[in-house]
Amino acid sequence: MKEIYLDNNATTKVDEAVFEEMRPYFCELYGNPSSMHFFGGQVQKKVDEARRRVADLLNAAPEEIIFTACGTESDNTAIRSALELFPHKRHIITTRIEHPAVLTLCRNLSRRGYRVTELNVDGEGRLNLDELEAAVDDDTAIVSIMYANNETGVLFPVEEAGAIAKAKGAIFHTDAVQAVGKVPLDVTSSTIDMLSLSGHKLHAPKGIGALYLRKGVPFRPFLAGGHQERGRRAGTEATANIIALGKACELAANLMDDTNRRVKAMRDRLERELLTLIPNSRINGGEAERLPNTLSIAFEHVEGEAILLLLSEKGICASSGSACTSGSLEPSHVLRAMGVPFTCAHGTIRFSFSRFNTEQDVETVIRELPPIINRLREISPFGRELLAHP
């Protein structure tokens, strides 16, 4: 059974061109880029090239790119750096729908005496900038707001948020893990001080990320040790992964327009068809500006985990809008923050596309999913009521 992979916000296939670019740096060109000899020097040249490729995707300068192990490390580095730089400032601002890489850290810091403000969102997952304006003050060390939500795809007004933060002297960071490679980014005249990205979200391997650090923004490293990354991130460079990330960013830049046009058309078709074929369904964040590849759709009075299991039997890979995979039956914190009704939140499924998806993938989901929802509603008391009175 060939899989239909529609869970690309969780992770992506490594592009074969990316793999071929990194492959020689495992067994052939395995030198340490920090070494003085020619064998290490040729690896350093490829690391420098990768740094330029990542910077080009953001329209940044190469020296503004710090390689990390993942998006989580980049997020943690940004927030902890700001707090070390301004030890007299004890206030952090973020949102209720951040990725756990930010939200868990901030909540841990709140237990250590920091004051943490979690901004609300409306029913479409949109941020209220007036609430941010009221929250930021002279005690705010950092404002960390994601660029695009990983569950709904809703895009945030990052530039406006950054301007509000900087007007009060706070550092502004954005977790752009879901946005990089999917929407055009230009940090040249941006209000963004720091930006996190992750390779495995844009067809590079797992285990590589980066942190954009605007030139002139003060910084304290998270990892202390050697001189790597200009003293900003100690540890021998994961050269093969870094080279892979560079290639993936180059491909993303070259293919973005075509990819976005194609995946948005597939996403929109799937959305239209499912809303038509399945009564009592709704789009989470459907009225907001979203990533072109993301569809979060809720089916009333069915369980998301049951939908996923039955889709998996058909070879279709998606994700749920509840935390069931982590052992909890609670709806996700994102859907709770949006006020999605409990009966819909439990039946939310996220489909997320990549450039490797096809129209045939969409047709298969359109064919297989409506009977699955009907089947599950037939065995649910509330679902039977919906079927009887559509």
pLDDT block averages, 10 residues each, the chain of length 390? 94 98 96 88 94 98 98 98 97 97 97 97 96 97 98 97 97 98 96 98 98 97 88 92 98 97 98 97 96 97 94 96 57 94 93 98 98 92 56
Nearest CA to 94 among 102, 85, 86?
Answer: 102
Output DSSP code: residue 134: H
C-alpha 143/C-alpha 261 separation (Å) is 32
What is the reported pLDDT for 387? Answer: 54
C-alpha 51/C-alpha 21 separation (Å) is 14
Bridging pattern class, strands 209-213 and 171-175? unpaired
Give catalytic status of residue 106 as yes or no: no
Residues 6+ apart with CB under 8 A from 121: 95, 96, 97, 127, 128, 154, 337, 338
Nearest CA to 203 among 20, 66, 25?
Answer: 20
H-helix segments, the chain: 16-22, 24-27, 38-58, 71-85, 100-110, 129-135, 158-167, 239-277, 304-313, 333-338, 342-345, 359-378, 381-388
Q: In DSSP terms, which residues pair with 322 in a beta bridge?
A: 331
The tokens describing 235, both together, are: 């540890």
Q: What ranges do the domains of the chain cover?
A: 4-10+257-388, 16-252
Q: How far is CA 146 from CA 70, 73, 79, 133, 214, in A?
A: 16, 15, 13, 17, 17
CATH numeric code, 16-252: 3.40.640.10
C-alpha 267/C-alpha 33 separation (Å) is 42
Torsion of CA 311, 101, 327, 380, to 10 degrees: -50
What is the reported pLDDT for 322? Answer: 56
Looking at domain 4-10+257-388, its CATH architecture is: Alpha-Beta Complex (3.90)
C-alpha 70/C-alpha 368 separation (Å) is 35
Q: Name the strand (E) or helix (H) holding 140.
A: strand 140-144
What is the reported pLDDT for 324? Answer: 45
What is the reported pLDDT for 327? Answer: 52
The active-site residue out of 70, 106, 324, 344 is 324
Distance of CA 123 to the CA centre of its chain: 20
What is the reported pLDDT for 202? Answer: 98
Q: Give residue for tokens 């939140």.
A: 345
What is the reported pLDDT for 49? Answer: 98
What is the reported pLDDT for 380? Answer: 72
- The upper half-sphere exposure of residue 20, i.e. CA atoms within 13 Å in the direction of its Cβ, equals 3
